[in-house]
Amino acid sequence: AVAPYPGAETGAGGRLRDTHATGRGSFVGMGTAGYCVGNLNMPEHPPEPWEVTQSDSLYPKSLASPLQILKDASDGASDYGNKFGEPLCVGYTRTYGWRNPETGERREWIKPIMFSGGLGQIDHGMLEKDVPEVGMLV
């Protein structure tokens, strides 16, 4: 199943964890996010000529719609970063779906892609972890 909001939170949170686990710690700067989904099929707009409507295609019932994924994943990535103090400043969105009229072959992001990245900094003196010694506090 695809759960866009918690899935995007996990992507942002895991990346923030990895940033802080580098060496003896680093500073978070800003986040980036990217989304690749199928045709949006927005209900308030007539279908675009290239869109395959939901009724014409086979979207697994366990997946959120491409439109819902964009809304919820964006909220999830932004929410996690905001709670952590990291602004989401840069990103991209791609929607694509096409059916060859001659063969019926379908090309589309059925399983969505959510990209999470970030920029930060680490002081050179903090690059290496210390060797653990008896008596150290964790």
Structural domain includes residue 129: no
Token look-up 């866009």 returns 4
Determine the pLDDT at residue 105.
Answer: 86
Structural domain includes residue 134: no
Looking at the structure of the chain, the number of domains it has is 1
| % of the chain beyond a pLDDT of 90 | 48
What band does 100 get if pLDDT is binned at 50, 70 and 90? confident
Q: In terms of residue numbers, what domain contains 52?
A: 4-122
Structural domain includes residue 137: no
Per residue in 20-71, pLDDT (tens digit) is 888 988 999 999 999 999 988 888 988 787 776 555 556 777 788 899 999 9
Structure tokens at 130: 């210390």
Structural domain includes residue 113: yes
Terminal-residue alpha carbon distance, the chain: 37
CATH number assigned to the domain comprising residue 85 = 3.30.1330
Residue 30 Cα distances to 54, 62, 94, 101, angstroms = 36, 32, 21, 43
Determine the pLDDT at residue 29.
Answer: 92
What band does 118 get if pLDDT is binned at 50, 70 and 90? very high
